[in-house]
Structure 1
Amino acid sequence: MKFDVIVVGGSFAGLSATMQLARARRRVALIDAAAPRNRFTKASHGFLGQDGKSPHEIVATGRSELGRYPTVKLIDAEAVSAAAEGDVFNVTLSGGEVLQAVRLVLATGMRDELPDVPGLDLRWGRSVFACPYCDGYEYGDMALGVLAAGPLSVHQAMLVSDWGPTTYFTQGLHEPDAEGLAALSARGVRIERSPVVELLGPVPTLEAMRLADGRAVPLSALFIAPQTHIVSDLPHQLGCALENGPKGPYIKVDDFKLTSVKGVYAAGDVASPMPNATLASASGVLAGVAAHQSLIFP
């Protein structure tokens, strides 16, 4: 089956790209494996017009809206391979079906590598978060923590302290330098050097952090800046160039979301070092518009 554009990934970026192409009356297939990065969270915040709604609800609404456009085909499957053949791209689905298109939009998302601390994964997206702009407001003036996971953790602790009294847990791995210590002190951030060994409280809530020395530090929410990984192998198969971000590699794109491979666009978290629902949706719009215009002005 041949389309003008195939969009891989059906969360905020992929849906937004597909909408632009649908309204341009182009034949577009949206392939979705139904495993978005935000599936662990209860509500999406800071997304204008969608504040407080669950990501699942937002996606379901988007799919319903796209279903009204006759040139859109929604496909629930995983895209397992993609390759260029002349002027077209062949995309193979998990069931073996092969689709063709002259343009691709990759909106396949990222995977977070969580620290190996008992109880953390059970609270991910519920009381353990990555983004204070997305989830900090609900915990305003409560006891907050930042679990050091990489070079961005000191920066994150500086930010989180605007929402409530903050403790920075170094884990014995990410000790701030002199400048960082001074900056954290100026923000009133407490430093805790005994490693966290367990998260306490009835799941999915958080009540305290158990430390290696036996103490329990009361806490209502924890923030981390985990390392990230590109979920899909398609960017590698297609030969897309990558950028090295502070939390991991992502697809390199130009101002119009074109990758290093002609005819392949990328949008959302997979093409940005800054994960955010609004930015993902906006980048999907730009990728969809750019892919459409490239069909007219190759």
Structure 2
Amino acid sequence: MPIQNETFDAIVVGGSYAGLSAALQLARARRRVLVVDAGRRRNRFARDSHGFLGRDGQPAAAIAEAGRKDVAAYPNVSWHLGAAVDARAGDDGFLVELEGAAPVHGRRLVLATGVRDELPAIEGLAERWGRSVFHCPYCHGYELQQGDIGILANSELSFHQAMMLPDWGRVTLFTNGRFEPSDEQRAAMAQRGVAAIEETLVARIEDAATVVLADGRRFPMAGLFTYGRTHMASPLAERLGCAFDEGPMGRFIRTDERKQTTVPGVYAGGDAARAAGNVAIAVADGAMAGTGAHQSLMFG
């Protein structure tokens, strides 16, 4: 359904898992919905997605495409393939400025805008992100088949990763000058089963997941895990005046139990609105944001 000169009941900004899930709830409530999709899924670098019931092990892009087809089947849904560049509160709702199109008006706004990852500055890491370098063991740990797993430290959070990952394989922590474990942390990691702690700086990543240290030693790994920093992929929440909370990897949009932000009428879901990144969680979060937005149209 093309964009027409009308007021939408809800504008969903973000056409990935959370946004599509929110749009589906609103579409099934027979509301007029506009989905604004800039086409930049956070997990676009990953080939397959895991841990999502009914879709385990399927290509991440195929899951997103199936979601788009589900939502597009509803005639009360319109699409804009491009970015939402600005938004502001207006009469009975919000005015959203679109890239390459006229502004649109929505009574409710759902932000599923996602985040972008700022990765550690290690040569060879970025091009392996989502393929052999990961951040979520629930998404990718099982496929490493209990092999050698390296953790590329980037902050104190690396201790948390080191305590988790022995369930998935034989763990080596590369501190890389970014994390100095305390004696208590070293003892806890040893008890948990962390096999080794390497404190020589990491020079680069080669092959599939081989860690090359500054002294020339090489550690072939089945896969690597690291934490980066996350940043809002869109400025809309900040421009609308939404409050943020500080998470372990970066800010996320503050929401209540119905996924409404601190700005009445603005809802948020997915990675932009929680300190976690996972397809199954994003879909659930989007569903909550969509139903929350719909119920506010009925009950205020």
Aligned to 1:20: 25
1:48 corresponds to:
53
Residue 171 (structure 2) aligned to one of 148, 166, 171: 166
Q: Hey, what's the Cα distance between the residues in 2 that align with 1:63 and 1:141? A: 35
How big is the shift at 1:19?
0.3
Residue 168 of structure 1 aligns to a residue whose secondary structure is strand
1:141, distance to aligned residue in structure 2 (A): 1.9
Counterpart CA distance in 2 for 1:292 and 1:196 is: 50
State the identity %: 51
Following superposition of structure 1 onto structure 2, how do residues 31-46 of structure 1 map, counting pairs within 5 Å? Answer: 31-46=36-51
> Any idea what SS the aligned residue of 1:126 has?
coil
Distance 2:70 2:273 in 1: 25
Partner residue in 1 for 2:111: 106
Q: Which amino acid aligns with 1:39?
A: R
Per-residue deviation, residues 106-127 of structure 1 (Å, max 9, x unmatched): 0000111111111101100000
* 1:218-257 mapped onto 2 (5 Å cutoff): 218-257=220-259
- Which position in structure 2 is the counterpart of 1:286? 288
Q: Does 1:97 align with 2:99?
A: no
Q: Distance in 1 between matches of 2:175 and 2:290?
A: 42
Work out whether residues 18 and 28 of structure 1, in 8 Å CA contact, stay in contact via their aligned partners in 2: yes
Q: Which residues in structure 2 correspond to 1:1-298 (within 5 Å)?
A: 1=5, 2-189=7-194, 190-201=196-207, 205-206=208-209, 208-298=210-300
State the distance in 1 between where 2:40 and 2:71 align: 19
Q: What stretches of structure 1 move > 3 A for 4+ residues in a row? A: none
SS of the residue corresponding to residue 161 of structure 1 reads helix
Unaligned runs of 5+ in 2: none
The C-alpha deviation readout for 1:58-92, integer Å capped at 9, x for no partner, is: 11111111121110012211000000113220111
C-alpha distance in 1, partners of 2:73/2:148?
46
Distance 1:165 1:290 in 2: 43
Which moved further from structure 2: 234-243 or 60-69? 60-69
Looking at structure 2, the residues matched to 245 and 66 of structure 1 have their Cα atoms a distance apart, in angstroms, of 31
Query: Contact conserved, 1:109 with 1:268, CA < 8 A, in 2?
Result: yes
State the superposition RMSD in angstroms: 0.9
Give the Å deviation of 1:176. Answer: 1.0
- The answer (yes or no) to whether the contact 1:149–1:227 under 8 Å persists in 2 is no
Aligned partners of 2:72, 2:253: CA distance in 1, in Å?
29
What amino acid maps onto 2:244 in structure 1? L
Whole-angstrom distance in 2 between the partners of 1:135 and 1:72 = 34
Report the TM-score, using the length of structure 2 for normalisation: 0.96
CA distance in 2, matches of 1:193, 1:34: 40
User: What's the CA shift for 1:96?
Assistant: 4.1
Determine helix, strand or coil for the equivalent of 2:167.
coil
